[in-house]
Amino acid sequence: MVLEILKYPDPRLRKKGVPVTEVTPELRKLAEDMLETMYAAHGIGLAAPQVGQSVRLLVIDTRPRDEEGNIDESAMTELERQVPQPLIVFNPEIVVARDKTTYEEGCLSVPGYYETVERSQYVEVKYLDIDGQERLIKTDGLLAVCLQHEMDHLEGKLFIDRLSFVKSNRIKNRIQKHGYPTPEEVAEERAKVRERREQAKAEAR
Ligand SMILES: [Zn+2]
- Look up 150 and say whether it is catalytic: yes
Count: domains in the chain: 1
Ligand 1 centroid, distance to 150 Cα (angstroms): 6
What pairing do the DSSP bridges indicate for beta strands 115-128 and 87-105?
antiparallel
Distance 79 CA to ligand 1 centre (A): 23
How many other β-carbons are positioned within 10 Å of the β-carbon of residue 204? 6
Residue 81 vs residues 62, 63, 160: alpha-carbon distances, Å: 10, 9, 29
Confirm whether 205 is domain-assigned: no
Domain that holds residue 155: 11-101+119-163
> Residue 54 C-alpha to ligand 1 middle, in angstroms?
14
Residues 177, 90: Cα–Cα separation, whole Å: 36
Per-residue pLDDT of the chain (205 residues; tens, 9 = 90+): 999 999 999 999 999 999 999 999 999 999 999 999 999 999 999 999 999 999 999 999 999 987 787 898 888 999 999 999 999 999 999 999 999 999 999 999 999 999 999 999 999 999 999 999 999 999 999 999 999 999 999 999 999 999 999 999 999 999 999 999 999 999 999 889 988 888 877 787 6
- Taking the centre of ligand 1 as the mean of its atom positions, its distance from the CA of residue 109, in whole angstroms, is 6
**201 assigned to some structural domain:** no
Query: Catalytic residue among 150, 155, 189, 195, which?
Result: 150
Q: Is residue 114 part of a domain?
A: no
Residue 192 resides in a domain: no
Please state whether the predicted TM-score (pTM) of the whole model is above 0.85: yes
